[in-house]
Amino acid sequence: MKFLLQRAERAPILIFRARGSGGTHRIEHKQRMSSDLTRRQILKFAAQMAVLAPFARAAAEPLPWLVRSFAAPPATRPAPYKLTAADDRLLDEMERMACRYFWEQASPKTGLVKDRARPTLQDQHYIASIAATGFGLTALCIAHKRDFIPRAKIEERVLTTLQFLQSKMYNNHGFFFHFVNMDTAERVWNCEVSSIDTGILLCGVLTCRQYFDSPEIRNLATQIYERTDWAWMLDRGKTLSHGWTPEHGFLPYRWNTYCELMMIYLLGIGSRTHPIPAATWDAWWRPIFEYRGQSYIGSYAPLFVHQYSHAWFDFRGKRDRYANYFENSVVATKAHREFCAAMHRRFRDYSDRVWGVTASDSAQGYAWWGGPPPVGTIDGTLVPAAAAGSLPFLPRETLSDLHAMRARYGGHEWKRYAFQDAFNPLTGWYDSDVIGIDTGIGLLMAENLRSNFVWDTFMKNPEVRSGMQLAGFKPEDAASESLREPAPSPEASA
């Protein structure tokens, strides 16, 4: 299968091309693009591409091949990597500085966290994202555990945030607007009520519910989660909608192809108040990608899709009838590292030691890029969150990358909140901003590598365990006999 971006005079054409026994099948989608696309426009465009991916795969090969590819147990893993003293110092400093971001760049009135900020207390950005706030709530648990910030102040901030979410911030069936004013929660950019960003927020809410020994925090967190009407977000379909707007109702895009979606399905399936059927877990597509002999479930999207659900859900040693998703992310991360190293002739700073490209800022604006297969116009930019968000998957390789980035580029790239969002050593461009979700994924994965803390805390939620059980997750050995059940059909992804 090939993924091509053909630039026409007026609009590029994205083509998914698969060659099968019936000849060459081609699906085209046209979308005008410009160099100054906003992050929201890029995400919308990616959603349109996700709609086409299942049909490209269906044209290529019969479904049983997908199941057979992942029927075998994972290859023998090397012995667990033991952190060196230098590793632990680096991770501790990264975590401390990232927690500082989620403390300083949140509104004391609402607890909502800025989507992005410059590394200064005088930053003028005012737009918060609910996803950054979900990472931020989890960051406060980490800061409390590690005593980075006075603990009484942290509990007060968590309580302020949950009170605001529960009783003062607009929601529709429990789902929140994606981007809002950090002090008033007023909607900005005509954004959507977002299913995935609400899911990230709820992961932070549920982490606080289990970590803090406060009846009020636990009660508020329970109310916020149990209010969420997952069945409504299905919009009479078999898969969850991307969201809803007051002007147009439900968005025409569905979470129907593998990406960061696992969290929202498991949260919905496990809900005690507004559950969705367990069959929705089988309704989304799991395309197989190959790179240099490595096969893994993936999508035409940056590396973060293999990270986000894993920040909270502990998939280690478990599998459903399709895959062990932790091992799948290990393979996807290996493939990405090799993909970057293979571009060394084009971008001399890329190597098997310095690597990593995921959705991030660029010199031309926000960029949706990565691979394999190549996504976006990669220009030599490096994104620390690619490695930081993959720390538990490849500890040795990601730590080597982060050490090298700090040593070589830290004078420009390492500031008040640790790494800035992105930089291009070929052109001398260094981002002026930090993006909350990119800083957040690195923070959570660093803590999981060091102590399993986020996994252990979040997985105490009974709804989380129930969701995984109902979706068919079993310990690795116990699941092996059920792996030849059929994969979902393209029609099931409607």
Residue 422 lies inside a defined structural domain of this protein: yes
- Which tens digit of pLDDT belongs to each residue from 59-101? 333 333 444 344 434 445 667 899 999 999 999 999 999 999 9
Give residue 477's pLDDT band: very low, low, confident or very high (50, 70, 90): confident
Q: What is the 3-state secondary structure (H, E, C) of the chain?
A: CEEEEECCCCCCEEEEEEEECCEEEEEEEECCCCCCCCHHHHHHHHHHHHHHHHHHHHHHCCCHHHHHHCCCCCCCCCCCCCCCHHHHHHHHHHHHHHHHHHHHCECCCCCCEECEECCCCCCCCCEEEHHHHHHHHHHHHHHHHHCCCCHHHHHHHHHHHHHHHHHCCCCECCECECEEECCCCCECCCCCEEHHHHHHHHHHHHHHHHHCCCHHHHHHHHHHHHHCCHHHHCCCCCCCECEEECCCEECCCECCECCCCHHHHHHHHHCCCCCCCHHHHHCCECCEEEECCEEEECCCCCHHHHCHHHHCCCCCCEECCCCCHHHHHHHHHHHHHHHHHCCCCCCCCCCCCCCCCCCEEECCEEECCECCCCECCCCCCECHHHHHCCCCCCHHHHHHHHHHHHHHHHHHHEECCEECCCEECCCCEECCCEEHHHHHHHHHHHHHHHHCHHHHHHCCCHHHHHHHHHCCCEEHHHHHHHCCCCCCCHHHHC
| pLDDT, average across residues 453-476 | 98
Residue 308 lies inside a defined structural domain of this protein: yes
- Number of separate domains in the chain: 2
pLDDT the model gives residue 53: 47
Residue 459 lies inside a defined structural domain of this protein: no
Residue 236 lies inside a defined structural domain of this protein: no
Domain with 8 in it: 1-56
Percent residues over pLDDT 70 in the chain: 81
Give residue 116's pLDDT band: very low, low, confident or very high (50, 70, 90): very high
Same domain for 388 and 366, yes or no, is yes
Residue 275 lies inside a defined structural domain of this protein: no
Domain limit, last residue, from 433, 452, 471: 452
pLDDT the model gives residue 79: 79
pLDDT at 315 over 60: yes
Residue 179 lies inside a defined structural domain of this protein: no
User: CATH number of the domain that 342 lies in?
Assistant: 1.50.10.140
pLDDT the model gives residue 187: 98
| pLDDT, average across residues 287-304 | 97
Residue 41 lies inside a defined structural domain of this protein: yes
Same domain for 37 and 1, yes or no, is yes
Same domain for 43 and 2, yes or no, is yes
Out of 17-31, 50-64, 189-203, 458-472, pick the least confident: 17-31
pLDDT the model gives residue 44: 54
Q: Which residue has the higher pLDDT, 256 or 6?
A: 256
Residue 340 lies inside a defined structural domain of this protein: yes
pLDDT at 2 over 80: no
- Which tens digit of pLDDT belongs to each residue from 180-217? 999 999 999 999 999 999 999 999 999 999 999 999 99
Same domain for 315 and 345, yes or no, is yes
Is this prediction's pTM over 0.85?
yes
